[in-house]
Amino acid sequence: MGKRDDLIAKYANDLKNKCGVTPDMALLTKVTIGCGPAIYNDDASTVAATQPSELETIKNNFLIKKLGLKDGPALMEGINAAIAKYGHSERNKYRAVFYYLLTKHFGREAAYK
């Protein structure tokens, strides 16, 4: 297996064990690929869920630009729901897992078809 396949397996494990979600592997693979080279960088591969600027960037660049959602309070509610699902105490929130949770939360799987 390649490095990306190893990471996808790690993300699937996080979804099962930390989020209590059975992952759709095809969607998880597409979300992971969509993250680009960031998944290979230790800092960029995780989400700093306690930094408002990071959450704002996720809202603007992922939810609005990638998923095509309209700006509004529901977006931050979705981000907070994803943080809660991953676990507030979980220090390393992988970006691909976080984006997967957001994609499912907003029902925007079609963005990856």
pLDDT per position as a tens digit, 33-88 = 999 999 999 999 999 999 999 999 999 999 999 999 999 999 999 999 999 999 99
Cα–Cα distance measured from residue 49 to residue 28, given in angstroms and rounded to the nearest whole number = 20
Q: Assign 35 to helix, strand or coil.
A: coil
Looking up residue 95, the CATH number of its domain turns out to be: 1.10.238.120
Amino acid at 102: L
Q: Assign 49 to helix, strand or coil.
A: coil
- Sort residue 86 into left (φ over 0), alpha (ψ -120 to 50) or beta: alpha
Domain tally, the chain = 1
Alpha helix positions (H), 58-106:
73-86, 95-105
pLDDT score at 16: 97
Tell me the angle at which helices 25-34 and 95-105 cross, rounded to the nearest 10 degrees: 120
Domain extent at residue 96: 3-112
And the tokens for 50?
């306690």
Give φ, ψ of 51 to 5 degrees.
-100, 115
pLDDT score at 113: 84
